[in-house]
Amino acid sequence: MNQDYQENQETPENINNQDNGVIEIPDTQTLKVLYTSDIKGNTDNISYLATIIKQKIADTNFSILVDSGNWAKGTMLADHFKGMPMVEILNYLSYDAVGIGEGEIAFGSQNLYNIAGEAKFPLLCANLVESGTGIPPYFLDKKFVIKEKGPFIVGITAIANPQVYPGTGIEAKDPFAILPDVFNEMQKHNPDVIILLSRLGTERDKAIARAFPQISLIVGAGEEPLESPIREGNTFIVRPGDNGRFLGAIDFDMEAVIKISQAQ
């Protein structure tokens, strides 16, 4: 399968300037992955991006929408209601998969259960366990999800920073020890695209890409967006930036063909 990278950094500021003279005709052999990260409870920016997200999905035959975590906490509104306003927004946007990051863990294990009870999207974190028991929370019994989008089979998993999170009842195990079993199980579904939602940081994401070359895309974490993707072997590493300022996009083409026409 050939992979063709095409990243769009869409911002709330240019939401009213989408007519740039180029019309993209959806290709039936193209999967568009849309991604966000580190929204940090910024309901205003993600509400602006919602219009862009909905338009991108409407203009694309096959799309996946993911977030790599740290979305629940960071503003007065989000913190007061312990992430629930963000759950409502992510539900509205019908995310295909959402990672668990520092902001979600910070509210504690019981609130994670509350979030899981309200979320209509898959919450993912393959290496998260309850402190003391070493058992994953019940809503994380599945370490990955499989999404079928037309001819594409997409496997998605997520990992948090390996550490103990004091006072939360949560800890994260070493992803290098967890991921081999995750990918072995995932491969039984013969995925065309494998997406990892990561909280590790760029350098450790590179190490993950080298250790697990079957990964197609790592959606990473961090405040500033990457101007262009990092390619490690066959794996692309991307980072859309924080606070819902940008929406990232990357296309996976089964035949490396993108149809674009000019409009005057």
pLDDT the model gives residue 25: 54
Is the pLDDT score of 24 beyond 80?
A: no
What is the pTM (predicted TM-score) of this model?
0.87
Asked which of 132-141, 214-223, 224-233, 249-258 is least confident by mean pLDDT, the reply is 249-258
pLDDT the model gives residue 211: 98
Q: Please give the domain boundaries of the chain with CATH numbers for all domains.
A: 12-262 (3.60.21.10)
Is the pLDDT score of 1 beyond 70?
A: no
Asked which of 17-26, 101-110, 178-187 is least confident by mean pLDDT, the reply is 17-26
For the chain, give the secondary structure using H, E and C.
CCCCCCCCCECHHHCCCCCCCEEECCCCCEEEEEEECCCCCCHHHHHHHHHHHHHHHHCCCEEEEEECCCCCCCCHHHHHCCCHHHHHHHHHHCCCEEECCHHHHHCCHHHHHHHHHHCCCCEECCCEEECCCCCCCHHHCCCEEEEEECCEEEEEEEECCCCEECCCCEEECCHHHHHHHHHHHHHCCCCCEEEEEECCCHHHHHHHHHHCCCCCEEECCCCCCCCCCEEECCEEEECCCCCCCCEEEEEEECCCCCCEEECC
pLDDT the model gives residue 31: 92
Average pLDDT over residues 99-127: 96
| Residue 262 pLDDT level (bands cut at 50, 70, 90) | very low
| Residue 17 pLDDT level (bands cut at 50, 70, 90) | very low
| Residue 217 pLDDT level (bands cut at 50, 70, 90) | very high
The pLDDT tens digits for 33-46 are: 999 999 999 999 99
pLDDT the model gives residue 132: 87
The pLDDT tens digits for 49-69 are: 999 999 999 999 999 999 999
Is the pLDDT score of 234 beyond 70?
A: yes
Residue 179 vs residue 25, higher pLDDT: 179
Query: By percentage, how much of the chain surpasses pLDDT 90?
Result: 81
Average pLDDT over residues 153-161: 97
pLDDT the model gives residue 83: 97
